[in-house]
A and B are shown apart, each in its own frame.
Chain A
Amino acid sequence: MEQFLAIFATIVTASTPLLIAALGELVVERSGVLNLGVEGMMVMGAVAGFGVAFATGNPYLGVVASIIAGMLMSLLFGLLTLTLLSNQVATGLAITLLGLGLSALIGESLVGQPIARIPNFHGIDILIVASFALAGLTSWVLFKTRLGLVIRAVGDNHHSAHAMGFKVIAVRYLCVAFGGACAGLAGGYLSLAYTPQWVENMTAGRGWIALALVVFATWLPGRVIIGAYLFGAISILAYTVQTFAWGIPSQWLSSLPYLVTVAALVVISGNRQLMRANTPTCLGQSFVPDR
């Protein structure tokens, strides 16, 4: 029993960063913007959070720093794609490459340093609770408030939204910044709670998995929770099975989350009805007002 509770707690902590990052990206994509820089914003959040926690001794200040770092990276993305109308796919990749490089340089002196992790009660910490609140909040804002209606309108048809007098670019900046804050927080969770240390590339593709989760959830916050916990469970079970030494090569088990991501994308994307109902129509398109 004790052991099962422990495994359950690790599944929850492994799922939380995926959940937070995917919720942020979901809002971004609902507004019609595809930010592929989640991995880069996340890893910057991880290094900034860890660095501040190490310097101040306070992990909560680290959390704040990780949110700010993620948001700054996302605003850089916004500047290029929303103001300078650059290609969103290429710019997202640039954010990821830049984030991975910059975090490695900044974190060079932090490798192997200890910090005080975020306190938890039987493995459950405040950010886990917050992640569920965040899921409820995004769902409520997107589907029950006027702001959510505007965000979805901008994402589904930016020309109509513009004609109705909504500020398309401003709404998108807001959503991109929110997505950056979430990605940063998710990264901070990794370095402050999940494994309280800094390692180069410590996000290990989780930002990309979060992106896949948004598709998997067909842009619905409730389903992001299911998806994030499914992936968290798979990655933890892969590690747990490893300890039983049933002769399954560790590399096979480690590649499981990535293979499952591919499989999940195939299953969901092949379902035409589900995709057509929820995919933001303007996803990935730059908005140029005609006047």
Chain B
Amino acid sequence: MRLILEKRAERSWKMALASPLIAIALTLIFGGIVFALRGVEPLHGLYVFFIEPLTDEWAREKLIVKATPLVLIGAGLALCYTANIWNIGAEGQFVIGALAAGAVPVLFSGWQTPDVMLVMLILGAIGGALWALIPAALRVRYKANEILTSLMLVYVARLLFDWLVRGVMRDPLGMNFPKTVRFVGWQRLPTWGDIHLGALIALIAALGLAFMMARMLKGFELRTLGAAPRAGRFAGFSADKAVYFCFAVSGALAGLAGACDVMGVSKQLQTPYEPNYGFVAIIVAFLGRLNPVGVILAALLLALTFIGGEAAQVSLGIPDKIAKVFQGILLFFILACDTLILYRIRFESKK
């Protein structure tokens, strides 16, 4: 028996939709095995991890809160990956966005009118975009691999954040804790329960990007450059400009996500700040079929793994690290199943 991949005549759109579902099913089976190995009854483990959090009003709100940054970042990354541009440093852009937004309450703690909220959000987006434009410029000007440079800048961003929040931005009355002052008034985002305004911003951003990718020339340009760079050049599209555009947009969205996270959840900056949203959003982008609307659904599922991990730790005594394993294996299965979009698997007996 030999496994043979046979190229399909055209992309199978049915498989493009079925592949993430198969991948989720395989992840659940894998999850069951992991629970069994840990001495937990598999179905009970999966119930606690994936279902129980959804039955609780408080946890449902938390789900939206965790999904918010994932939607914002994931939608931007989907744009990049469609154009075959590899920004994997969103985590760094997220942290810089939080830092830029947090600088306002630190410098002007008395500024609490509604306009401060707008300024902080915009500063967050600008901070993330500028940080993302570094690897973009290095790639365009010096052909430096953007995967490696954008990732290296994550570590630099974290250290910069740590230095500032421990140093000049620390709350002088904060008993030496590595935290800034607490944000007050309109320095915080309006909330409904735990859900903050960021959720609405994320929804609008994702729908806006979806419209651009499907209906506007820019979307066509990026899709062409990603699928057939030579054809794109003949059509007069500039690959260099696409690199700047994708990094600027995805960086701005990641920065905005960082601003929303500190303005809506922690309401101050504190170090260490490593929520990992930037890396998990890579999985979100792929699970969401590199489509901003798909990203919304994918973000909800990945947000569930964060909450499920905490639930597993509390009620099953399993380390919450298990969430990371599920996230990693899910991406793995998606990529494996995506083969079926372009190929048909056939088994051939050896002659």
Where the two chains meet, the residues of A that have a C-beta atom closer than 8 Å to any C-beta of B are 36, 76, 79-80, 83-87, 89-91, 93-95, 97-102, 104-105, 108, 200, 204-205, 208, 211-212, 215, 249, 251-252, 254-255, 258-259, 261-262, 265-267, 269-270, 272, 275, 288
- Cα–Cα distance between A160 and B3 once the two chains are bound (Å): 23
Interface check B270, CB cutoff 8 A: no
| B142 contact set on A, CB distance < 8 A | 265-267, 269-270
| A265 contact set on B, CB distance < 8 A | 138, 142, 144-145, 148-149
Known pairs A255-B159, A269-B144; A98 contacts B329 (CB<8 A)? yes
Known pairs A100-B328, A101-B324; A262 contacts B147 (CB<8 A)? no
Interface check B211, CB cutoff 8 A: no
- Cα–Cα distance between A79 and B5 once the two chains are bound (Å): 13
Q: Can you offer 18 A-B residue contacts whose CB atoms are under 8 A? A: A36-B147, A85-B339, A86-B339, A91-B332, A93-B331, A95-B332, A101-B321, A101-B328, A102-B325, A105-B324, A205-B151, A208-B151, A252-B159, A252-B163, A255-B159, A259-B156, A265-B144, A272-B143
- Cα–Cα distance between A108 and B318 once the two chains are bound (Å): 10
Interface check B167, CB cutoff 8 A: yes
Interface check B336, CB cutoff 8 A: yes
| B118 contact set on A, CB distance < 8 A | none
CB distance from B246 to the nearest CB of A (A): 15
A80 with B335: CB separation less than 8 A: yes
- Cα–Cα distance between A143 and B152 once the two chains are bound (Å): 32
- Cα–Cα distance between A102 and B332 once the two chains are bound (Å): 13
CB distance from A203 to the nearest CB of B (A): 12
The residues in B between 116 and 153 inclusive whose CB is less than 8 angstroms from any CB of A are 138, 141-145, 147-149, 151-153
Bin the interface of chain B by size. 35 or more
A86 with B336: CB separation less than 8 A: yes
A251 with B159: CB separation less than 8 A: yes
- Cα–Cα distance between A95 and B332 once the two chains are bound (Å): 8
CB distance from A43 to the nearest CB of B (A): 12
Query: Which chain B residue lies CB-closest to A105?
Result: B321
- Cα–Cα distance between A36 and B145 once the two chains are bound (Å): 12
Out of A85, A100, A105, A258, which one reaches B5, CB within 8 Å?
A85
Query: Which chain A residue lies CB-closest to B280?
Result: A97
Where the two chains meet, the residues of B that have a C-beta atom closer than 8 Å to any C-beta of A are 3, 5, 7, 81, 86, 88, 138, 141-145, 147-149, 151-153, 155-156, 159-160, 162-163, 167, 279, 282-283, 286, 319, 321-329, 331-332, 335-336, 338-339, 342-343
Out of B143, B155, B323, B331, which one reaches A258, CB within 8 Å?
B155
- Cα–Cα distance between A83 and B339 once the two chains are bound (Å): 10
Interface of chain A, helix or strand or loop or mixed? helix
- Cα–Cα distance between A270 and B162 once the two chains are bound (Å): 32
A262 with B153: CB separation less than 8 A: yes
Query: Which chain A residue lies CB-closest to B342?
Result: A85
Out of B156, B160, B324, which one reaches A100, CB within 8 Å?
B324
A-B contact count (CB 8 A): 135
Out of B155, B162, B325, which one reaches A205, CB within 8 Å?
B155
| A80 contact set on B, CB distance < 8 A | 332, 335-336
CB distance from A99 to the nearest CB of B (A): 7
- Cα–Cα distance between A99 and B324 once the two chains are bound (Å): 9
Query: Which chain B residue lies CB-closest to A93?
Result: B282
| B88 contact set on A, CB distance < 8 A | 93
B148 with A208: CB separation less than 8 A: yes
CB distance from A6 to the nearest CB of B (A): 26
- Cα–Cα distance between A170 and B145 once the two chains are bound (Å): 28
Known pairs A89-B147, A215-B145, A215-B148; A97 contacts B321 (CB<8 A)? no
| A212 contact set on B, CB distance < 8 A | 145, 148, 152
- Cα–Cα distance between A63 and B109 once the two chains are bound (Å): 55
CB distance from B36 to the nearest CB of A (A): 14
B3 with A98: CB separation less than 8 A: no
CB distance from B26 to the nearest CB of A (A): 13
CB distance from A256 to the nearest CB of B (A): 10
CB distance from A115 to the nearest CB of B (A): 21
| A208 contact set on B, CB distance < 8 A | 148, 151-152
Out of B151, B325, B342, which one reaches A105, CB within 8 Å?
B325
Known pairs A98-B325, A105-B319, A275-B143; A251 contacts B153 (CB<8 A)? no
CB distance from B205 to the nearest CB of A (A): 23
| B3 contact set on A, CB distance < 8 A | 83
A97 with B159: CB separation less than 8 A: no
CB distance from A198 to the nearest CB of B (A): 13
B325 with A251: CB separation less than 8 A: no
| A270 contact set on B, CB distance < 8 A | 141-144
Out of A102, A255, A275, which one reaches B328, CB within 8 Å?
A102
Known pairs A80-B336, A212-B148, A258-B156; A251 contacts B328 (CB<8 A)? no
A255 with B324: CB separation less than 8 A: no
- Cα–Cα distance between A7 and B286 once the two chains are bound (Å): 45
CB distance from A8 to the nearest CB of B (A): 26
CB distance from B326 to the nearest CB of A (A): 8
Out of B156, B286, B319, B327, which one reaches A90, CB within 8 Å?
B286
B163 with A251: CB separation less than 8 A: yes
Out of B148, B323, B328, B343, which one reaches A94, CB within 8 Å?
B328
| B151 contact set on A, CB distance < 8 A | 205, 208
Known pairs A98-B328, A215-B145; A255 contacts B160 (CB<8 A)? yes
B145 with A269: CB separation less than 8 A: yes
| A272 contact set on B, CB distance < 8 A | 143
Out of B7, B163, B319, which one reaches A108, CB within 8 Å?
B319
